[in-house]
A and B are shown apart, each in its own frame.
Chain A
Amino acid sequence: MGVELLYFAWVREAIGRDGETVEPPADVRDVAALLDWLAGRGEGYAEAFADRARLRCAIDQRFTTLDAAIAGAKEIAIFPPVTGG
C-alpha cells in the first residue's frame, strides 16, 4: 500500500517537489531506510538526505525519530529542524 511523503523547506527545494506517493519495498522498515531507498532516486534526493543530523520527520503528523518504524504509516513528512516563533 502506498504512503504519502511530504517535503518541507530546503528538503522540498533540493528534491524539487513538495510530496509524492511511493510504495517502498518490504525491507524498508524505518524512516532512515526509507531515506536510503529514496536517495537512489536521483541527485536531489541524495543531496537532501546526505546529512541525517539535519533532518527531522513526522509520521501521520506526529513528530518522531528517523529510527521509527513506518509500518502502517499513511503520511511521512521529512524536513529540517523547525524554526517558528
Chain B
Amino acid sequence: MSIRVLVQEADFDIGDELARLEALGGGGVASFTGVVRGGDELAALHLEAYPGMTQRALDDIAAQAQSRFPLLGLTLIHRYGTLVPGARIVLVATVARHRGAALEACAFLIDWAKTKAPFWKQERFADGTARWIEQTATDTDTAAMWDASAEHGRP
C-alpha cells in the first residue's frame, strides 16, 4: 500500500500523480480534483491551514481509507494559500484491483477531507471585500453517512 499525503502551497501535476498510481499494478485508478469555482466577482480563494495539525489530520483520513477499502495506493494533495479561479485546490486519487473500491475510496477521502481536516476558505472579491465560507450541512451530512456505514460499503 502506497500512501502519499501532501499539504503544500505549490500546484501539482495530475498526470504525474496518476501515473504514479497506475504503476502500482491495480486495474482501476480513480481521481477527484477540486478547483476554485469562478463567478460572483471572485478574485481569489484564500485557504488557511493549521501547520502541523493539517498534515496529521489528512494522514489520519488516509489511514481510515486504507483500513476501509482494499486499495493498492492513494494520493491526497491539498493546497493552501491564495488561489485564483480555475486553480486546483485538492487532488484525491486512488488505485485498487477493481473500480468499485477505487471510486468509493475516492468519494470517502474527499468527503472526509472537507469536514475533518483543518482548512478554512475565504472568498476575496474584486471590490476588496472578503467573506469566510460557512460549513454546509450537506458537507457534514455526507461525511457523517460514512461514519454510519459499516467498515466497508457505500454511505
Contacts and interface: CB of A to CB of B under 8 A. Distances in A.
Interface in A8-23: 8-10
Interface string A61-82: 1010000000000000101111
Give the size range of A's interface with the partner.
10 to 19
A61 B135 contact: no
A85 B90 contact: yes
Contacts, number: 69
Interface stretch (B12-20, B45-53, B144-152): B45-53
A80 B34 contact: no
22 contacts: A8-B50, A9-B48, A9-B132, A10-B132, A58-B50, A58-B53, A61-B56, A79-B50, A80-B120, A80-B132, A81-B140, A82-B116, A82-B118, A82-B120, A82-B135, A83-B133, A84-B117, A84-B120, A84-B121, A85-B34, A85-B90, A85-B113
B69 to A, nearest CB: 19
Give the size range of B's interface with the partner.
20 to 34
A85 B52 contact: no
A6 interface: yes
Interface of B: 34, 47-48, 50, 52-53, 56-57, 78, 89-90, 110, 113-122, 132-135, 139-140
Interface of A: 6, 8-10, 58, 61, 63, 77, 79-85
Contacts of A61: 50, 52-53, 56
Nearest to B110: A85
A79 to B, nearest CB: 7
Contacts of A8: 48, 50, 118, 120
Given A9-B48, A77-B50, A83 B117 contact: no
